[in-house]
Amino acid sequence: MKKSLISMFLFFLSLSVVIAQKTTTYPTKFTVALDGSGDFKSIQEAIMAFRDHSQQRVILFIKNGTYHEKVTIPANKPNLHLVGESREGVVITNGDYSGKTYPNGQKDAVGKTQFSTYNSYTLLVDAPDIVLENLTIVNSAGRVGQAVALHVEGDRFVCKNCTLLGNQDTLYAAREGTRQFYVNCQIEGTTDYLFGKAIVVFKSCTLKSLSDSYITAAATPDYQPFGFVFFDCKLTADSTAKKVFLGRPWRPACKTVFIRTEMGSHILPIGWNNWGNPANEKTVLYAEYQSTGEGANPSKRVAWSRQLSKKELRIYTLENIFGTKEPIKNWWNREE
C-alpha cells in the first residue's frame, strides 16, 4: 500500500511538472529606449533577456536614439527581429578598428592585445534567422584601416530598410554557405566595403563609394555556386570619388554579379581588378546584365569579365541562389 502511494505521488508530481512546462510562456517582445520608457535602456541587455534557442519569432523594438554600443547577437539567440522606430532615428555606433589596442591592457583568447578586422564590428550577428529593420549601424572609427560596421555569420539573415556606414570593410558577409538578403539598404564605404564568403543578395540597394577604390571583395569558395548578386541596385559616389572598381577577388574563385544595376560615372570603364594577380582572371566569375548609367561600359570591361545572356540570367533566381527547391515562401527571403 505504501509503495503504491509513493508511486502515485511521483506520477502526479511528474505530471504537474509536464503541465507547468507546457504552460510556461516567454516574452515575445521587448522595447529598448534610452529615456527609460521601455523595458531596457541597452540593446545588448535586451538581446540577452530573450529565451535561448527560441523557435518562436521575438521582436525587439528600438526607440529612436543614438546607442553607443558594441552589440553581439550570440548563436544561442536565434529568431530575433530588431525593428527600429525609424531608419534615421535609431543609430547603433561604435569605433573599434583593426590595430586598436584593447582597453585596460586586456588580451583576447589567443593573447593578442589589439582588435583585428574580425572583431572590430559594431554589430555581430552570430545566430541564424535574424532580421534587422529600420535602423542605422555605424563604425565611427574613420579612415584608419579595416573597421567593420556589420559582421554577419548567421544563416537566413535579412536586413531591410537599413543604413550601414563605415569606410574600409563596412559589411563583412562572413561565413561560407550562409545566406544573406539585403533589401532597400544604403551602404557606404571606401575600400572593399562589401566583403566575405557568404551567399548574398542585394536587392534595390544604394551603394555609395566614398573614395577611389573597390566596392566588393568577395571570397567565394570554389565549390559554392553563388557569391554576391546585385538586383536593381544603384551605385553612387561622393564627389571626391572618380575612379572606382566594381570589385577585386579576396580569394581566387570569387563570384560577383550585377543585374540591372544603375552605375554612376565613378565606375571605371574596365570595371574589375585582379588584385595584382593575373592568375585570378582564370578563376573568378565577374559578370553583369543590362547595367545602365554612365558607368555601364560593356564594350570596355576587362576581357575576363562577362556580360550574361538571357539564358544565363535564368539561374539567378532567389530559389536557385538560396538553394530552395520550392517557391520562395520563407520569411527570411521575402521582401514584404
Active site residues: 169, 192
Q: How far apart are CA 188 and CA 164, in angstroms?
A: 6
User: What are φ and ψ of residue 280, in 5° steps?
Assistant: -65, -25
* Cα 16 from Cα 73, distance rounded (Å): 34
Q: Where are the alpha helices (DSSP H) in the chain?
A: 2-23, 43-49, 310-313, 318-322
155: phi then psi, degrees, rounded to nearest 5: -85, 160
Q: For residues 227 and 309, what is the distance between their CA atoms, to the nearest angstrom?
A: 19
What secondary structure does DSSP assign to 248-303, as a single string? Answer: --SSTT-EEEEES-EE-TTB-TT-B--TT-GGGGGT-EEEEES-BSTT--GGGS-T
Q: Could you give the CA distance from residue 256 to residue 21 in angstroms, rounded to a whole number?
A: 49
Q: What are phi and psi of 240, to 5 degrees?
A: -85, -10
